Amino acid sequence: MSSSKTTEPADRHWPETYAKDEQRLQREFLAFLRLTAVHKVAGLSRELAAAAPIPTSPAITAMRVLKHLTAVERYWMSIVGGGADLPELWGADAEASWKFTADETPESVIADYRAEWALSEQALAGRGPDDTSAGQPDKTIRWIRTHLIQETGRHVGHLDFLRELADGEVGE
């Protein structure tokens, strides 16, 4: 297994370094992290994307991490933040977001995750950082976006290791 530097997706770039618009900066960092997560799963075979290479964490696979990020995105951005009338992707069991079916592939999981981004942006359209969330009035839109950035960033770290263990590919 050899290591190689990954090529960057064409639409992925670091956020503006001298940003003055907080919401824009948050959206750009979230977009960067979302695309990085997708990049870490893209190109893996189903076998490699479904593999659990860490013996002490048998539920952690690249596909499961991406499915979990999709559920987290739906819950925090669309349901809590925007008050969208959408079903939670983990239903009554938060662990359900870590499971996948036999017919799911890395490509289908990536497509579902990408589709969720549009729903998230729709749900928060026109809302400012100081606006309270529709689903939890004790949380602001600023808090929700920041929480999603930290959650996505944490799981991108997991995907870094999973990708390297899967095929040796490293890089941001």
Mean pLDDT along residues 115-121: 95
Which carries the bigger pLDDT value, residue 163 or residue 14? 163
Which carries the bigger pLDDT value, residue 154 or residue 7? 154
pTM (global) more than 0.75: yes
- The ranges assigned to domains in the chain are 21-170
Give pLDDT, residue 132: 96
- What are phi and psi for residue 87, nearest 5 degrees? -70, 145
Q: What is the mean pLDDT of the chain?
A: 88
CATH classification code of 21-170: 1.20.120.450
Give pLDDT, residue 97: 67
Please, which residues have CB within 8 angstroms of residue 70's CB and are 6 or more apart in sequence?
A: 89, 97, 109, 112, 113, 116
